[in-house]
Amino acid sequence: MKAWPQMTLAGGPVQLTDRTLRDQSRPVLYHYDPAFIEIFSHTCDLLKQVYRTEYDVVIMQAEAILGLEAAAACLLSPGDKVLNLVSGVFGKWFELFIEKYGGETIELAVPYNEAIDPDAVRKALEDNPGIKFLSVVHSETPSATVNPVEAIGAVAKEFGVLTMVDTVSGLGGELLSPEDWGMDIAVAGPQKCLGGPPGLSMLSVSPRAWEVMESKKSPLRGSFLSILDWRDTWMEKKTFPYTPSVTNIYALESVLEQALEEGMEAMAVRHRAIAKAARRGVSAMGLELWAASEEIAASCVTGAVMPKGIDDEQLRGRLRDRYGVMISGGYGELAGKLFRLGHMGMAAHPTYLCAQLAMVERTLADLGVSITLGQGVGAALASLENWGESA
């Protein structure tokens, strides 16, 4: 049997805290047991606080891709024009959903190491009258970059355009609020910065988004993809459209509690500080950051350009098999071009970062890259001088 890694520092799923593991391993309750109804209600309340929103929140019972497809399925009508912002693999993927549900895609794309410019969004909206929706990925995990969603949301609002925002790896790592950021449907997942297991989609839904879903010629109901079904059942009658993922809900309740105990602001500060230290470490090792500039580098993962003469299998394979550290590489069309240091959830901490940097250094030296051992770790440590003081 293959040995398990010492540390899972991938771009999600991530390692769970002992408390989360304990909480999710409680006995499985019948979903109409009053104790479970209480847990589900409490989890929805916590989610609103984590999203920092007064909008409705909906927890859909499958990996975050369900929430993303549901947004497109529930909002779009045939012929609707959608401005799809593409700065990475997930942004491009969303086009499939737009097309599947009859939308017409207008793409605004940048190279996958850059971020979308809100002025370019404005220009695209001016040049293409009649755009009804805008879709954007907040934190493009595979590109290790973030898009300025707050500014993009403001532009969308000016034009009366509804937004669908993938903040799967943004929530928890960045301080956001759907109202302030103009997010009509935001979709997050537990398995990234919140540090939970994969298996749920957490949505926040604006009043306008509900209106558009309702006023479609044939609103989507009676479907696993229906957000309206959750309003008709859970939100109105405290019933479920089908059995929810009981164990995943325990874990979600647990990670949301932990997030709120830390505080959303402190959590974002922690992710940002570790991401900065990771960048210092990567640069001090003589590697090139994947993101075109520091300002657009993500808080959840740090991308480094794959060093010349080394391939993904050598680097990540050796790191995993010899040193027990599992990290993510490039995904989709980025495969082989970069590797990513993971620092989400409990791994957004100096201990995990330094161990990770140290083992990457050892691996690179093993592979013949000329580096001075300890330089990356040293630079990261230097950047962590004020760790824990502001948080």
Ligand X SMILES: *Cc1c(COP(=O)(O)O)cnc(C)c1O
Residues that bind ligand X (CB under 6 A): 12, 63-65, 90, 137, 139-141, 166, 168-169, 189, 192, 198
Nearer to ligand X, 65 or 266 (CB): 65
Q: What SS3 class is residue 164?
A: strand
| Least distance CB 91 / ligand X (angstroms) | 8
| Least distance CB 326 / ligand X (angstroms) | 15
| Least distance CB 11 / ligand X (angstroms) | 7
| φ/ψ bin of 137: left (φ > 0), alpha (ψ from -120 to 50), beta (otherwise) | beta
CA dist 41 and 263 (Å) reads 20
**How many CB atoms within 10 Å of residue 118?**
18
CA dist 282 and 278 (Å) reads 6
Q: Token pair 């959590």 is at which residue?
A: 267
Q: Which residue is nearest to ligand X (CB)?
A: 141
Nearer to ligand X, 143 or 383 (CB): 143
CA dist 372 and 31 (Å) reads 56
| Least distance CB 141 / ligand X (angstroms) | 3
CA dist 360 and 378 (Å) reads 13
**How many CB atoms within 10 Å of residue 386?**
9
List own/partner pairs for 312-317 with CB under 8 A and 24 or more apart. 312/336, 312/339, 314/367, 315/339, 315/363, 315/364, 315/367
Nearer to ligand X, 252 or 377 (CB): 252
| Least distance CB 166 / ligand X (angstroms) | 5
Residue 147 CB partners (closer than 8 Å, separation 6+) = 85, 87, 115, 116, 136, 137, 138, 139, 140, 296
Nearer to ligand X, 190 or 376 (CB): 190
In this structure, what token pair is assigned to residue 35? 């104790």
CA dist 149 and 164 (Å) reads 11
DSSP per-residue string spanning 13-75: S-PPPHHHHHHHTSPPPPTTSHHHHHHHHHHHHHHHHHHT-SSEEEEESS-HHHHHHHHHHHH
| Least distance CB 80 / ligand X (angstroms) | 22
| Least distance CB 98 / ligand X (angstroms) | 15
Nearer to ligand X, 300 or 377 (CB): 300
Q: Where are the alpha helices (DSSP H) in the chain?
A: 18-24, 34-51, 64-75, 89-100, 118-127, 149-158, 178-181, 207-214, 228-230, 236-237, 246-262, 264-284, 312-323, 350-366, 375-383
Nearer to ligand X, 65 or 154 (CB): 65
Nearer to ligand X, 53 or 143 (CB): 143
| Least distance CB 57 / ligand X (angstroms) | 18
| Least distance CB 266 / ligand X (angstroms) | 22
Nearer to ligand X, 29 or 227 (CB): 227
Q: What SS3 class is residue 243?
A: coil
| Least distance CB 322 / ligand X (angstroms) | 26
Nearer to ligand X, 90 or 133 (CB): 90
Helices 312-323 & 350-366, crossing angle to 10 degrees? 120
Nearer to ligand X, 192 or 343 (CB): 192
